[in-house]
Structure 1
């Protein structure tokens, strides 16, 4: 009976029995597990069976400073099938034999498997699926980014013997060889004994950045996503394709995440004329402001796409009524003229002296109506005039004197 694996810890416990028969029963998320130590090494190798049953191991992190790096560090006479490793983060710190699924395999069969994520700081024998490979790989692929110093490939770093085969497989990940870009690198296979042992297999020359490989055929991205490019592949029971790279049916139809379409939509508000009315009466001229409350509009959108909508709004008018009453006072000088007034003086003394004539003060009554001096202040001022005249009354009298004929007698 197979040993069932359902948790990260159970996956890690495989190292305790390297010859066991194991099966996944569900997807396993390794993001909370921490740094994972590869299963098997050059001394204690994995020689069992691992069947993923179409489930996935996700978010595994491996950071180790020794060779034979991968989920399985070293596998010999083993069988690995139907397992996917997604979003892996593998760092080997310049060590040899590095892959995401397995670092080193010998006479091992790998079928219906794939990997994605990144593999960096490998030295020699670095591949997106397997680093150093001996055995058979069939119906597998890798989307992983791969960085190494030499013998670096998108699927396999180095094929170690002439009896090893790669069949009906492909890779798409970026392959980077540093510091020497010509030190055995390839889009699908970095180096190998006989390229004829790689059959019906391909790599994407656009996404990998590689135009050479130690086996396989380079295709453009468009060709890689076209079913007719994959001659002799089984698209009935093994593979599927849906306007993208081929997928393995054992894992179901992949969910393609379509990024949301971001579009700027301008929505404008339309409203009829609105008026502000202010009435104010004052006795003096002041600045008058018109106030209207904030206008709130409601916009409702019922269509999928709105483009380039112009704004139209009628003029906004405000109306103010202003009344003034202007009162102006003026002082005018009025001169009264009176005719000479005569007075009579009667002298009845013998001695002539200076005589004074006294006339009591005369009073004159004068009514004057002076027109207002009006100016226009952007208002209408109505003035009612009471036309009147100025008049005075004179007491025209006659002056007369009585001559008293007398004589002066001087007696000496």
Structure 2
């Protein structure tokens, strides 16, 4: 089972285990690693595989003075496969050194397929857009749009191929190639077996190559140029260079131009609404019609455009300016009033106090003697007070109490 790679550090850690299979889980931006060291070296090469799954490695930067440089330094295993990987906006530079490619410095066995690269790469000898030195293996269904420069054996796709065991199939290059020595639009120098592969003569600035067929930019953007290519499941083309379907349909850059568009608008119908006032001002207004036309194209072509009639609903308000004096009759219904009347009345307030009832319980031992006694009742009169406008009755009620005092020979009771 392949190990998934989702971060720059995980991609960098492939060097710690060069024998297993890996796959990308998402696009990886390598900006956080300012100077990436190529994976593997002359003593320990990558022998696993990498499946990009249609994801991209972006902003890969390499500055080195050690030979064999690229994402991978060397691949020498026949079963190793690098596929479905896009390398975008790479900046790879070897200082006076050899064997450099954006994917691999030297390919001596194995397969690179369904891959593409963009950016720039430079070095001394055997520098290519995808492979620097090609000794053995297969490169198929790949393209490079890399600016390649060096001293000699410089190619848009491959710098140098050493034998016919180097197979290049259904691939192309559009990057600019410069060299003070030997160079080629697709392959800088060497012998290889090239099938249905092309380079753009104009964008590369090179009219020669050790393999492949040179085409104009216009021809490179026509499907009929690419004989026996699989445009059903592998490649796609849409008025531009072919693209690999595994990465999705590319969005072409927007171009600014003048497009004549005829617009048809049906008659306007207005509804008049008037509000009668003493002074009236009526305006007639039609909202502006805004037409927004956008056109995206990857090439300069004459494209006839047809626009069906536009059905427009317009709602308009009309007012008429008129200065005049109008007689206005106003009817007012009878006014119904609810009057709440509150009156304050002064009355003589009477206070009534219920008679005081007292129960007298006398618990004394009585002899069979005749007891003469009398009851004395102290009655306090009630008093009522009032304050004006405040209905309040204050009653001072003196509590009654009973005190029994044994008197010889009589009983005195106070109430």
Q: Does TM, normalized by the shorter one, top 0.5?
A: yes
1:129 and 2:127 correspond? no
Q: Which of the numbers 191, 205, 212 marks the counterpart of 1:216? A: 212
- CA distance in 2 between counterparts of 1:39 and 1:137 reads 20
Counterpart of 1:40 in structure 2 is 40
Counterpart of 1:200 in structure 2 is 196
| Residue 94 (structure 1) shift | 1.7
Counterpart of 1:97 in structure 2 is 99
- CA distance in 2 between counterparts of 1:21 and 1:169 reads 25
1:255 and 2:257 correspond? no
1:188 and 2:186 correspond? yes
Counterpart of 1:401 in structure 2 is none
Alignment of 1:259-298 (within 5 A): 259=255
- CA distance in 1 between counterparts of 2:255 and 2:48 reads 41
Q: Which of the numbers 238, 242, 264 marks the counterpart of 1:246? A: 242
| Residue 257 (structure 1) shift | 2.4
- Where 1:95 maps in the other structure, the secondary structure is coil
- CA distance in 2 between counterparts of 1:57 and 1:189 reads 24
- Where 2:165 maps in the other structure, the secondary structure is coil
| Residue 302 (structure 1) shift | 3.4
| Residue 242 (structure 1) shift | 0.3
Alignment of 1:9-408 (within 5 A): 9-77=9-77, 78-120=80-122, 122-133=123-134, 134-177=136-179, 180=180, 183-194=181-192, 197-259=193-255, 302-303=290-291
CA shift digits 1:321-363 (9 cap, x unpaired): xxxxxxxxxxxxxxxxxxxxxxxxxxxxxxxxxxxxxxxxxxx
| Residue 32 (structure 1) shift | 1.9
CA shift digits 1:238-264 (9 cap, x unpaired): 00000000000011111222156699x
| Residue 161 (structure 1) shift | 2.7
- Where 2:202 maps in the other structure, the secondary structure is helix
- CA distance in 1 between counterparts of 2:224 and 2:106 reads 33
- Where 1:144 maps in the other structure, the secondary structure is strand
| Residue 184 (structure 1) shift | 2.0
Moved beyond 3 Å, runs of 4+: 259-263, 300-305
Which structure has the bigger radius of gyration?
1
- Where 1:206 maps in the other structure, the secondary structure is helix
- CA distance in 2 between counterparts of 1:57 and 1:260 reads 30
CA shift digits 1:12-54 (9 cap, x unpaired): 0000011110000100011122210000111111111111011
Count of equivalent residues? 263
- CA distance in 1 between counterparts of 2:198 and 2:43 reads 34
List runs of 5+ in structure 2 lacking aligned partners: 260-287, 294-415
Q: TM-score, normalised by structure 1?
A: 0.62
List runs of 5+ in structure 1 lacking aligned partners: 264-299, 306-412
- CA distance in 2 between counterparts of 1:94 and 1:301 reads 64
RMSD: 1.8
- Where 1:52 maps in the other structure, the secondary structure is strand
- CA distance in 2 between counterparts of 1:34 and 1:48 reads 25
Q: TM-score, normalised by structure 2?
A: 0.61
Q: Taking structure 1 as reference, are residues 240 and 96 closer, same or farther at Cα in structure 2, changes over 3 Å only?
A: same
- CA distance in 1 between counterparts of 2:44 and 2:291 reads 65
- CA distance in 1 between counterparts of 2:60 and 2:191 reads 32
| Residue 193 (structure 1) shift | 1.9
- CA distance in 2 between counterparts of 1:260 and 1:76 reads 48
- CA distance in 1 between counterparts of 2:81 and 2:223 reads 29
- CA distance in 2 between counterparts of 1:303 and 1:139 reads 44
